[in-house]
């Protein structure tokens, strides 16, 4: 017999974790990253709870975001992510990670808070990585190059729409109009 439980995260709980996230991380950045990478590889090699498995990809995205040297990230945002990753890598936090089934609930809440706060930046980074594969034959391709490319593509789309709109004004609804 299996039971399903729902967990509602209140503003009070979110505020508690926000306070934790605004405290500076204490460990070395490389140590935090290595610890999270080890934990992720453990998760992938064993059967973890679904709620934990659903947080593997967001954790990997956060790791890529802070380790990508070509991505400009504010010190505040980087510190925020590193604090969250440090919290994730610590076994003795609000709910100790060694407690079966529920040990990572608090860690996942922290990851969700960070991902929610940085969702636009994570999306942009994903686009940057994809663009770097297409346009970045130059190994020096960086965020500024990507922004220039984005701007050119935007102007191209606007120009195309404007021209398309002008053409449709002078026709009577079909390409065979006189």
Calculate the average pLDDT of the chain: 86
Query: Which has the higher per-residue pLDDT, 29 or 155?
Result: 29
When pLDDT is averaged across residues 25-44 and rounded to a whole number, the result is: 91
Tell me which H or E stretch contains 42. helix 29-45
Q: What pLDDT, on a 0 to 100 scale, did the predictor assign at position 146?
A: 82
Q: Which among 74, 70, 43, 47 is positioned nearest to 57, based on CA atoms?
A: 43
State how far the Cα of 88 lies from the Cα of 14, in Å rounded to an integer: 16
Tokens representing 114 are: 């960070």
For residue 164, pLDDT over 70 is answered with yes
Q: What pLDDT, on a 0 to 100 scale, did the predictor assign at position 173?
A: 54
When pLDDT is averaged across residues 50-70 and rounded to a whole number, the result is: 92
Instruction: Spell out the domain ranges in the chain.
Output: 11-137, 142-178
Cα torsion angle, 146, 147, 150, 151, sign: negative
For residue 60, pLDDT over 90 is answered with yes
116-145: pLDDT as tens digits: 999 999 999 998 888 888 876 777 788 888
78-112: pLDDT as tens digits: 999 999 999 998 887 888 888 888 888 899 999 99
When pLDDT is averaged across residues 144-166 and rounded to a whole number, the result is: 82
| Confidence band of 154 (pLDDT split at 50, 70, 90) | confident
Provide the phi-psi class of 29: left if phi over 0, else alpha when psi is between -120 and 50, else beta. alpha
Q: What pLDDT, on a 0 to 100 scale, did the predictor assign at position 174?
A: 55
> For the whole prediction, is pTM greater than 0.75?
yes
């Amino acid at each position: 017999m299996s039971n399903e439980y729902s967990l509602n995260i209140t503003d009070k709980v979110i505020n508690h974790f926000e306070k934790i996230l605004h405290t500076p991380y204490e460990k070395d950045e490389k140590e935090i990253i290595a610890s999270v990478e080890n934990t992720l590889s453990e998760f992938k090699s064993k059967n973890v709870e679904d709620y934990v498995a659903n947080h593997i990809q967001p954790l990997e995205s956060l790791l890529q975001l802070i380790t990508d040297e070509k991505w400009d990230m504010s010190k505040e945002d980087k510190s925020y992510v590193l604090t969250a990753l440090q919290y994730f890598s610590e076994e003795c936090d609000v709910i100790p990670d060694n407690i079966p089934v529920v040990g990572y609930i608090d860690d996942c809440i922290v990851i969700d808070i960070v991902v929610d706060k940085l969702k636009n930046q994570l999306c942009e980074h994903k686009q940057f990585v994809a663009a770097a594969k297409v346009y970045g034959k130059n190994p020096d391709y960086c965020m500024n190059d990507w922004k220039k490319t984005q701007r050119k593509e935007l102007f191209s789309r606007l120009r195309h729409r404007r021209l398309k709109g002008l053409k449709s004004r002078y026709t009577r609804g079909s390409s065979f109009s006189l």
